Amino acid sequence: MSLIAAFALTVLLTPQPKVKPTPVPPGTLEAKKLEALKVEVIAEVEKNKDMVQQMVDQIFSYGELGFQETETSRYLVGILEKNGFTVQKGVSGIPTAWFARWGSGKPVISLGTDIDGIPKSSQKPGVAYPAPLIEGAPGHCEGHNSGMAVNIVAALAVKKVMERDKIPGTIQIWPGVAEELVGTKAIYVRDGFFKDVDITLFSRVSSDMKVSWGTQTSNALVSVRYDFTGVAAHSAGAPWRGKSALDAVELMNVGWNFRREHLKYTQRSHYIIPDGGDQPNVVPSKASVWYYFREIDYEKTKDLWDIGNRVAQGAGMMTDTMFASTILGSAMDHHMSKPVAEAVNENIKRVGMPIWDENDQALARAVQKELAVKEEGLATKVADMTGPVEEKARTGAGSDDIGDIQWNTPSVTLQFPANIPNLPGHSFWNGIAMATPIAHKGSTAGAKVMATTMLDLFAKPQLVADSWKYFNEVQTKDRKYISFLSATDKPAIHLNREIDAQFREKLRPFYYDASKYKTYLEQLGIKYPTLRVPSAAATKTDSIAPANEGGAR
Ligand SMILES: [Zn+2]
């Protein structure tokens, strides 16, 4: 049987997992051809490593926050359309969200990754100490500037062989818009973007090259804003005529913080006050508090949210104010597909870690030294695949709304090694490596794993079938997906608008111009790596003020 015929058979057999597909036994012509194709796509990604570097640097330079990823999305959609993808833009009422497709028929392999940044994390890349590019501006200190290079460069390599060898199947590519706000993936699921998807491969920046399967530490999360309404009055002239919405916010927080003692250790909850009134002499008639409630699964998170609602009611009663609440985002806890993870893991072992040079290691060790964490440099070995995390080990963690997709299609997250180990997260420290050779090499390695895994999925109907069998018979046997969202909850696209307006024009002169500069480091005139001069580290003041920046502008 020719490879084309084998793949044609794949199309007929993959749509539903219940049909018994034809395996590709090792040693057959088809297996040998798959092997040759893997060698070919790895070489193709390597050939396109400058494209990886450009995408990583370009998105880093935009530094856009969740729901405001305008330049980033325009740039990515442009690349995909130029390469023959059909792109549906502004999906689900989210201006910066889009779904791109190329190919036809089954299987449909979906590639996702996040694209948003973090507030107040601007940092000059390659500089191993605090050095904001623009003070107070947002930046890519979560490393969400790197995943699209992984997915798109992998997809283009695979598309090339699919076109030539007439391999059927569909590639879907989409952005995790506003991941930091867990703002969109549950909406994508609700709006049907994963209905015909066979497998989802998600890529996420890490300091490791790694894949996992089963239950993970990641928490479910619901993001809720409480808006209190009181009565304004002169704070000095007639305070008794006022009903303070800010008092309600403060009492809600006090109530929650007392209640916190009697919640399970697995919960994580935190809040900010986006609106605390306007000025002290006006009793605040409006005030808001924004909570993230996190627990290990849907039920426990829902319970936490219910407690939050009751605490808000109590605060309203104490102050004679009213409140309304709005859900701003949500995420499900994680469960990753065992068969897909095993396939990814084989490709991880094949691709291996990037070859770091002394400059990469020097930057990593310098950052680790600044943070007084283990000065181990960059990882040089791929990490072992890990299985399910036991419930007793789930003692609180972050969240990612990729969980919603994992409960709707077999899915895994590929962690690729584009950042430095032992960093605090959500801080400018995490941005230092993200437009340097560390991120470029790590993302290129990630793209190779992504491309080879896509080939496995297009070539082996048994793998897709096994993944659905695991999904139906193990993952969702006793647990069905329930979204935190109602049919009418809307994406919170207003979030970050003001910060975006404040910094957009300041960031614009720093956008990377790949037509003029080989790298963003070159454009910024930053010597790689720029390390603190030893004597400058001696005083406390110098640990905050930038030292010699090697000619950085
Ligand atoms: Zn994050």
Question: For 455-482, what is the HEC assignment?
Answer: HHHHHCHHHHHHHHHHHHHHHCCCCCCC
Residue 9 Cα, ligand 1 centroid: separation in angstroms?
A: 41
- Ligand 1 center from residue 179 Cα (angstroms): 7
pTM: 0.91
What is the rounded CA–CA span in Å between residue 525 and residue 429? 20
Q: Which pLDDT score, from 0 to 100, does residue 27 have?
A: 55
Residues in the chain, pLDDT under 50: 1-2, 5, 8-19, 538-553
Q: Which residues surround ligand 1, an ion (CB under 5 A)?
A: 142, 180
Helix (H) / strand (E) containing 369 = helix 358-370
Distance 220 CA to ligand 1 centre (A): 14
> Which residues pair with residue 204 across a beta bridge?
415
At how many degrees (to 10) do helices 147-165 and 29-47 cross?
A: 130
pLDDT at 224: 98
pLDDT tens digit string along 248-291? 999 999 999 999 999 999 999 999 999 999 999 999 999 999 99
Nearest Cα residue to 437 out of 532, 515, 548, 363: 363
Q: What is the DSSP letter of 243?
A: B
What's the 207 CA to ligand 1 centre distance in angstroms? 14
pLDDT for position 392: 87
Rounded to 10 deg, the angle between the 358-370 and 437-459 helix axes is 110
289 close to 250: Cβ distance less than 8 angstroms = no
Which three-class secondary structure string do you get for 482-505?
Answer: CCCCCCCCCCCCCCCHHHHHHHHH
Q: If you measure from the C-alpha of residue 551 to the centroid of ligand 1, how many angstroms do you get, rounded to a whole number?
A: 31
Hey, how many other C-beta atoms are within 10 angstroms of the C-beta on 121?
22
Say if residues 352 and 445 touch (Cβ distance below 8 Å). yes
Find how far residue 520's CA is from the centre of its chain.
22
* 515 CA to centre of ligand 1 in angstroms: 31
Please tell me the distance between residue 421's alpha carbon and the centre of ligand 1 in angstroms: 16
Q: How far is the CA of 448 from the centre of ligand 1 (A)?
A: 24
Distance from the alpha carbon of residue 516 to the mean position of ligand 1, in angstroms: 32
Residue 411 Cα to ligand 1 midpoint, Å, equals: 20
Distance (Å) from CA 23 to ligand 1 centroid: 39
Q: Which domains does the chain have, with CATH numbers?
A: 3-216+333-389+397-475 (3.40.630.10), 220-331 (3.30.70.360)
C-alpha triplet 435, 445, 7: angle, nearest 5°: 135
How close is the Cα of 426 to the center of ligand 1, in Å?
A: 6
**pLDDT averaged over every residue in the chain:** 93
Coil, strand, or helix at residue 362? helix
Cα(377) to ligand 1 centroid in Å equals: 22
Asked if 34 contacts 456 with a C-beta cutoff of 8 angstroms, the reply is yes
